[in-house]
Structure 1
Amino acid sequence: MSRDLQDEQLKVAAAASDKGAETEAGGKYASPAEQAPVKVSKVEVIKRESRHLRGTIEQALQDGSPRFEEDNVQVLKFHGVYQQDDRDLRAKLRKEGKDKHYMMMVRARIPGGRMTAQQYLAFDEIADRYGMGSLRITTRQTFQLHGILKGNLKATIRGIHNALITTLGGCGDQVRNINACPEPVEDEFHRQIDEDLQALVDRFGAKTNAYHEIWLDGEKVTPDVEADEEPLYGDVYLPRKFKVGIAPEGDNCIDVYANDIGLVAHRSGDAVAGYTVLVGGGMGRTAAVKDTYPRLATPLTYVTRDELLEVCTEILKIQRDYGNRQERRYARFKYLLDHKGMDWFRTELASRLGRSLVPPRELVWQSSDDHFGWHAHTLADGTGYLGLFIPSGRIVDSPDRKLKSTLRDIVREFQPSVRLTAQQNLIFAGLTEAARTEIEARLKAAHIPLIEEVSTLVKHGMSCVALPTCGLATTESERVFPKVLERFQALFDEYGLTDEPISIRMTGCPNGCARPYIADIAFVGRSPGKYDVMIGGDILGTRLNQLFRELVPFDELAETVRPVLAAFVEERQAAERFSDYCERVGLERFK
């Protein structure tokens, strides 16, 4: 999206907010003191009355019902749990006069996607014992387990805890799993990034004892202690989810601009000099509500390592104190920034810090590639890492490809450290040359393609889970994405674009879990079998795409984009990329 177009979009949103949301208490983004007489959303009431995320979950686990009631459904999100149902069975069960087939999705918190071999194997076992037999890598570098029945929920979370991983913070109105470039390189620069990552995790993690009480049979705390458990989040936590990501300068494999706080680490020799702080990124929108929109994070300031925690904490507090708690569709941090304005935000932050903000550094990106393939001698002991492509992040065995069991056997025997990527892929680190050769042979024997055998188009694709498990999906994504890529591969081959780096992403609804709004080409589900077609983002993740066509049937997606691809081939300038071409000529001529 061009800067002029984005600026115009923000003006429209601000005007709509001013028109529809003013209150006697000072408006839609009133401070906590001003909000007292304002009617807040139902979720805010549930959070306040949850006693720091306890609700009545413990009692509900013993009531014999296969489902949770609504209040507990909302509180469970903070514990990393979404209540879902098998939507493939809805019609059949309804016809039989039966209730939905309820099940839970459990999402872990795995900062930066970093795991040991034993932790990976624990998830693999839990998926088979309690889930649907598959692991799903998310775009926030963690695992989701689908199909967990309510009666197995406590055992599932306890099993994850026993592997020294938590689900607290996997979902809910708090800081979610913090993304970080997954490349396993052992030098001082990367060591300091990992240290800062862990410091942010410690600072932003919820402090409530409810998690241990409910899932791990921890001791009950006294009411007096309970009331003071969340020094950062307070009684009602944040207005909405909050995402943080860390990228090394030049490498945008995590899509750092899609985060509420994006941190770009700058080098000084072998160390981290400091960070450029970006604010206000977010992908979700409500298609029927025109003043909701995706947004790229805005460069705000440069901070030293010593200043990082304080600055990030105060940014979070501003969203906590001023974010919209009346209407959840406007509760993300990006709407606060655009309604109040960046000048107001800079002044507010500087006031809280007691000092002026240093201007951000200029950012230059060389790559957004996902660290695929073999990289030798990246660790201190002389070992290297192997980046593997995982289609849509789904680790599962199928009749023709035993991906899950093959990876399990490899991890069990070679004991690599494991890293999940923000593009839904997998890295095995700490491998010798001999281990790498043996692993690749096993992958080939199991018909699992190495990255050299994966096309440029396919390796840059991403899709969300969607049907049948996601309750928000309006149509298919993951299950039909291979067909989408197949049709576009034929188009790319036809136009000589086989090796052109063009990203295609697909989601089953406008919430944007696969970050579609920064892809070169994206298909965003609107209704059963129909999608909005978005064009013009870029492979480096630094530009929003634009709405090209609305409600396009699935079978017409490829042909809808064909004229733009054909014109690109005929009219591109030397070395011009697809997104730059779309920005230069505009998409109106194709509409």
Structure 2
Amino acid sequence: MSNEKLSDNERLKQESKLLRGTITEDLQNLITGGFESDNFQLIRFHGMYQQDDRDIRAERVKQKLEPLHTVMLRVRLPGGIITPKQWLGIDEFASTNTQYESIRVTNRQAVQLHGVLKHDIKPVHKLLNQLGLDSRATAGDVNRNVLCSSNPIESTLHQTAYEWAKKISEHLLPKTNAYAEVWLDGEKVSIEKEEETILGNNYLPRKFKTTVVIPPQNDVDVHANDLSFVAIGEGDQLLGFNVLVGGGLAMTHGDKTTYPRMASEFGFIPTEHTLAVAEAVVSTQRDWGNRSNRRNAKTKYTLDRVGVEAFKQEVEQRAGVKFSPVHPYEFTARGDRIGWTAGVDGRHHLTLFIPSGRVIDTPEKPRKRGMAKIAQIHQGDFRLSPNQNVIIAGVPSEQKEEIDQIAREYGLIDDTVSLQRKSAMACVSFPTCPLAMAEAERALPEISAQIDRMMAQHQMTEHPFVFRITGCPNGCGRAMLAEVGLVGRALNRYDFYIGGNVMGTRIPRLHQSNMPIDKILALLDGYIGQWSKEGEPNEDFGDFAIRVGIVKPVYNSSVDFYDLTSEA
């Protein structure tokens, strides 16, 4: 890599004064609603993306106006746990100071505020600080928000795993004081006195994602992440973790050097080595990752370039740890247990299905007001699931009926939602994502309704499949771990993937490229009909599609993912 020209992002990070840039000066310029030059990228390290409403972009151009610049701000919530008080604070800001008046629960267990105007950015950071929250490292070339299985039933083991998720998040955060100086008017620190001991002063070559997962639920999608810690327990006791490295789903249309990749198993470690191993994996990727070509900068490409064994040995040397053989574990599902469940501690947990994670009020279903009303009386916590749902956790028996009544009154419980719809997910896409090529979140309700009709016609309503749709190939909606995945190419046109599995341990294969949505749904209708007639008892759709030869399984994505001989 040393002889190759570095990407411009490397220059930007090198010259950023440890992520300060000239953001403070830029905030004073209210002639434009956007950020200039390098600051456009640097604010990502502080948890924000500059966006504009693409629905009205052309009209503003006609009016000789700049795009309606706002930022999307992502709140860091390791393990997805947020208190009712924190939720209410975010809810109030979203209602009064954002363009869309919504809270979006992400599939990385964070919350996003869309449509924050420039003059409201510092106030929202100060609000988060007052609530004990921040948006540090939820974007940019750093370790992002650390996920942890929601698992509300296994309370004791979940609590231990969650504490490790928090520790990992804190350990891998940037050490720079830039966030406090820029957004909280904190006391300035001399840059000469600062050093990014883990991330490096040029930070990572690319974004880095970490999870803690409790089998048998693979709700975090371990194979979508650079680093995953699979909890191995004995009763309520956490013995340690199996460590998986090098998963990732993003790719680029037309570039076959990019591809999704399953994570590689490195081995087992006792819990006391967790932070050392996390640091060693991150620092190895920091030093060995590709800083010339950002499309090949993720950990998955580093492993394929240098070899899994070489990367593993380097991690062992840096951490001073030897991996033991992987302990047996099994994933059986990924979906959330929608509705009420009883915890081992005698308390109850209500998982609310939130379509695409969008908490917003509509005349029919004022979900946002309902969440606020529950937050005003709930004494436990809220847990955001990696499937974009919300768990009202730790409800005492005497309060269960009251919370259930509120949830039903405000449309947070809807018994008419199909199992298939609950198994679907979409990224944000239009109108705010600048990378969007096709609709996703806004298209999902109608597409799901059509799939529901197919499932009913073929008498398969009790056998949902994992369906995901993304507006571009960057992987945010995790379509590359779905049984059926759609990846946007252009308006109403998608790449059509089939053949993942329910557990999230197999990548689907491209079946048709750049196909209109109506033709995809017609094909899918035929396959569902075939599945209903020829499927074996309890055979999931992705497994059926491979067994009967609709597609071949993907064995090694770096080798055969682009084998377009779709039929087996």
Q: Matched residues, percent identical?
A: 37
Query: Does residue 55 in structure 1 map to residue 21 in structure 2?
Result: yes
Matched residue of 1:458: which SS?
Answer: helix
Q: CA deviation at 1:377?
A: 4.1
Distance in 1 (CA, whole Å) between partners of 2:83 and 2:509 is 40
Distance in 2 (CA, whole Å) between partners of 1:312 and 1:142 is 21
Q: CA deviation at 1:324?
A: 0.5
Query: Does residue 160 in structure 1 map to residue 109 in structure 2?
Result: no
Match of 1:412 in 2: 376
Q: CA deviation at 1:354?
A: 4.4
- Is the 2:79–2:166 Cα contact (8 Å) retained in structure 1? no
Query: Does residue 548 in structure 1 map to residue 511 in structure 2?
Result: yes
Query: Does residue 585 in structure 1 map to residue 548 in structure 2?
Result: yes
Distance in 1 (CA, whole Å) between partners of 2:344 and 2:439 is 39
Matched residue of 2:506: which SS?
Answer: coil
Q: CA deviation at 1:59?
A: 0.4
**Aligned pairs for 1:250-329 within 5 A:** 250-329=216-295
Label 1:421 to 1:187 Cα distance change in 2 as closer, same or farther (>3 A). closer
Partner amino acid, structure 1, of 2:151: E
Distance in 1 (CA, whole Å) between partners of 2:320 and 2:391 is 42
Q: CA deviation at 1:187?
A: 4.8
Label 1:187 to 1:145 Cα distance change in 2 as closer, same or farther (>3 A). closer
Distance in 2 (CA, whole Å) between partners of 1:103 and 1:468 is 12
Label 1:180 to 1:99 Cα distance change in 2 as closer, same or farther (>3 A). same
Correspondent of 1:222 among 190, 209, 227: 190
Label 1:269 to 1:502 Cα distance change in 2 as closer, same or farther (>3 A). same
Q: CA deviation at 1:96?
A: 2.0
Match of 1:442 in 2: 406
Partner amino acid, structure 2, of 1:333: T
- Is the 1:184–1:378 Cα contact (8 Å) retained in structure 2? no
Query: Does residue 539 in structure 1 map to residue 502 in structure 2?
Result: yes
Structure 1 length normalisation: TM-score? Answer: 0.90
Match of 2:397 in 1: 433
Q: CA deviation at 1:585?
A: 2.5
Structure 2 length normalisation: TM-score? Answer: 0.94
Where structure 2 has 5 or more consecutive residues not aligned to the other structure, the ranges are 552-564
Match of 2:479 in 1: 516
Label 1:575 to 1:185 Cα distance change in 2 as closer, same or farther (>3 A). closer
Please report the RMSD computed on the Cα atoms of aligned residues, expressed in angstroms: 1.6
Distance in 1 (CA, whole Å) between partners of 2:252 and 2:106 is 21
Partner amino acid, structure 1, of 2:142: Q
Distance in 1 (CA, whole Å) between partners of 2:424 and 2:352 is 14
Q: CA deviation at 1:348?
A: 2.2
Label 1:113 to 1:54 Cα distance change in 2 as closer, same or farther (>3 A). same
Match of 2:140 in 1: 172
1:238-284 Cα deviation digits (max 9, x unpaired) = 01110011111212121122111111101123201111111111111
**Aligned pairs for 1:23-62 within 5 A:** 30=1, 35=2, 38-62=4-28
Q: CA deviation at 1:410?
A: 1.5
Distance in 2 (CA, whole Å) between partners of 1:355 and 1:203 is 18
1:519-576 Cα deviation digits (max 9, x unpaired) = 1111110112211111111121111111111111123331122232222222222322
Correspondent of 1:80 among 47, 61, 64: 47
Label 1:521 to 1:187 Cα distance change in 2 as closer, same or farther (>3 A). closer
Match of 1:346 in 2: 312
Label 1:377 to 1:328 Cα distance change in 2 as closer, same or farther (>3 A). closer
Q: CA deviation at 1:435?
A: 2.1
More deviation, 103-112/255-264:
255-264
Query: Does residue 400 in structure 1 map to residue 364 in structure 2?
Result: yes
Distance in 2 (CA, whole Å) between partners of 1:236 and 1:141 is 27
Partner amino acid, structure 2, of 1:529: N
Correspondent of 1:496 among 459, 462, 484: 459
Matched residue of 1:401: which SS?
Answer: coil
Q: CA deviation at 1:126?
A: 1.2
Distance in 2 (CA, whole Å) between partners of 1:572 and 1:186 is 34
Q: CA deviation at 1:167?
A: 0.3
Label 1:241 to 1:97 Cα distance change in 2 as closer, same or farther (>3 A). same
Q: CA deviation at 1:442?
A: 2.4
Matched residue of 1:491: which SS?
Answer: helix
Q: CA deviation at 1:223?
A: 3.6
Query: Does residue 181 in structure 1 map to residue 143 in structure 2?
Result: no
Q: CA deviation at 1:383?
A: 2.2
Correspondent of 2:468 among 505, 511, 520: 505
Distance in 1 (CA, whole Å) between partners of 2:467 and 2:139 is 26
Q: CA deviation at 1:300?
A: 1.3
Distance in 2 (CA, whole Å) between partners of 1:463 and 1:157 is 28
Q: CA deviation at 1:330?
A: 0.5
- Is the 1:258–1:283 Cα contact (8 Å) retained in structure 2? yes
Q: CA deviation at 1:355?
A: 5.1
Matched residue of 1:201: which SS?
Answer: helix
Distance in 2 (CA, whole Å) between partners of 1:541 and 1:407 is 30
Partner amino acid, structure 2, of 1:196: W
1:366-386 Cα deviation digits (max 9, x unpaired) = 33231321122444xx32211
Match of 2:116 in 1: 148
Q: CA deviation at 1:193?
A: 1.2
Match of 1:13 in 2: none
Matched residue of 1:284: which SS?
Answer: coil
- Is the 1:51–1:235 Cα contact (8 Å) retained in structure 2? no
Correspondent of 1:475 among 398, 413, 438: 438
Distance in 2 (CA, whole Å) between partners of 1:415 and 1:358 is 42
The number of residues matched between the two structures is 552
Query: Does residue 358 in structure 1 map to residue 324 in structure 2?
Result: yes
Matched residue of 2:316: which SS?
Answer: helix
Query: Does residue 239 in structure 1 map to residue 205 in structure 2?
Result: yes
1:331-381 Cα deviation digits (max 9, x unpaired) = 1100011111112222322333445432222331233231321122444xx
Partner amino acid, structure 1, of 2:214: P
Q: CA deviation at 1:185?
A: 4.8
Distance in 1 (CA, whole Å) between partners of 2:544 and 2:128 is 47
Where structure 1 has 5 or more consecutive residues not aligned to the other structure, the ranges are 1-29
Distance in 2 (CA, whole Å) between partners of 1:187 and 1:566 is 41
More deviation, 547-556/180-189:
180-189
Partner amino acid, structure 2, of 1:115: I
Matched residue of 1:70: which SS?
Answer: coil
Correspondent of 2:33 among 35, 56, 66: 66
Match of 2:559 in 1: none
1:187-211 Cα deviation digits (max 9, x unpaired) = 5423321221222112111111000
Matched residue of 2:182: which SS?
Answer: helix
Match of 1:5 in 2: none
1:105-158 Cα deviation digits (max 9, x unpaired) = 000110010011101111101111211210000010010000111111111111
1:384-442 Cα deviation digits (max 9, x unpaired) = 21110000000000121111011111111234411100000001112123422122222
Match of 1:92 in 2: 59
Match of 2:561 in 1: none
